[in-house]
Amino acid sequence: MGSQKTGPIGTAFAMAAVWFATHSGGGFATGNQEVNFFVKYGWVSVFLPIIAMLILGWGHRNALVLAKDFKTYDYKSFGDALFHPYEKYFSGVFEFGFIMLIACGVSTSIAGAGALLKSSLGIPYGIGIVAVGITLLLLTIFGSNLIIKVLKYKTYFLIVTLLMLCVLGIQMGAFNFQHIMTTREAFGTNFGDAVWYSLIYIGFQAFTVLPIISVSHNIKTTKECNMFMLFGTLLNGVFLAVICIMLLGFSPEVLKQTLPVYYVTTELGIPWLKILYSVILFVALLGTGISLVFSSVARFEPVLVKKNILNSLRARRIAISFITIAICTGISVFGLTNIVVKGYGSVGYIGLLFVLLPEIVVGTIKIRKNAKMRKEQGISEAV
């Protein structure tokens, strides 16, 4: 991903792809997030996702500029730079966000996979989530190299399958979609609620800035950050809007589903596509869960070393993986929709007030101040 090899456009696009890969987790790929934060508010869900991703892109763009200016590529030093001189009051925000991102992300993966096993194979939900939890633990301990290889391709397979589904789903639901747009149907909700929940959505998505800044070492100029915002907003916003348009065509029935996109595959009546989506979704959910468990191990392993708990490296990693998966399997008992609405929703308030707003307001002030200082000192950005 080096800027020397790929150039500014390649670097910016690679960073936008990191944003999309982080965004397209379990809640996104199942359609549950789209339904609960956009589609259930009716016709406005056609354009609100793009506006939401534009605002989020602005926050992420500012975060990248700050990371470049202050050379802060981990959330602790980034938080200190953003909140300085009040970092001691706010430094815990990113720590909290990181832990909640793991908890909600892994729980969503387990709950989504459990719901998929129930819908596709008829396995009871309780048995399904325990089986998925055990599978996650075994793959985390024994299959890390294999999973890292699979994760590389997960996003591509998911994009291709979802795009196929969207094309066919939009065709099938076209008449109902046109009716909703013509009558401006809002399913009994109001525009204020729709705007507020789209803000809550970008509030919890604001924490996706953590993996983005951690791989932003190759960003050298503000121009690259601006290109990242353009590519990222288009990639995330258009894809989100297209899935919302497809799901609108199957409303209001789709609003009651735990797995809305899976419901569309059953309505399309194309067996091979239903099987393909189910397999890829299952692998994607496991992949997301495992990558987040790895993040948990990376974060908490130094704590065990410092406190001299468990001398064996393998034992420490197994212990952290087991505790993380056990807690998240427990959370997944509440079901995918509850985790998405209540779990992500609660994190959304914090992300909106303490991550996105500071990035846009404080971040803009600091970026301008740095640019002015560089200009006065005659320092070129690319140096």
Q: Where are the domains of the chain?
A: 10-361
Question: For 22-41, b where at least 16 C-beta lie within 10 A, e where not — what string?
Answer: bbbbbbbbbbbbbbbbbbbb
Q: What is the pLDDT along the chain (383 residues), one digit of tens a residue?
A: 444 456 889 889 989 988 998 888 778 999 999 999 999 999 999 999 999 999 999 999 999 999 999 999 888 889 999 998 988 888 788 888 889 889 999 999 999 999 999 999 999 999 999 999 999 998 888 766 666 666 667 778 888 899 999 999 999 999 999 999 999 988 888 899 999 999 999 999 999 898 888 888 888 899 999 999 999 999 999 999 999 999 999 999 999 999 999 999 999 999 999 999 999 899 888 888 888 888 888 888 888 888 888 888 888 889 999 999 999 999 999 999 999 999 999 999 999 999 999 999 999 999 999 888 888 887 766 54
CB atoms under 10 Å from CB of 304, counted, come to: 18
- Cα 127 to Cα 176: distance, rounded to the nearest angstrom: 37
The reported pTM is 0.90
Q: Which CATH architecture does the domain made up of 10-361 adopt?
A: Up-down Bundle (1.20)
What residues contact residue 305 under an 8 Å CB cut-off, 6+ apart? Answer: 316
Q: What is the DSSP string of 65-98?
A: HHHHHHT--SHHHHHHHHHTTSHHHHTHHHHHHH
What residues contact residue 136 under an 8 Å CB cut-off, 6+ apart? Answer: 106, 109, 110, 286, 289, 290, 293, 325
Which burial class, exposed, middle or buried, applies to 121 when counting CB atoms under 10 A from its CB (0-12, 13-18, 19+)? exposed
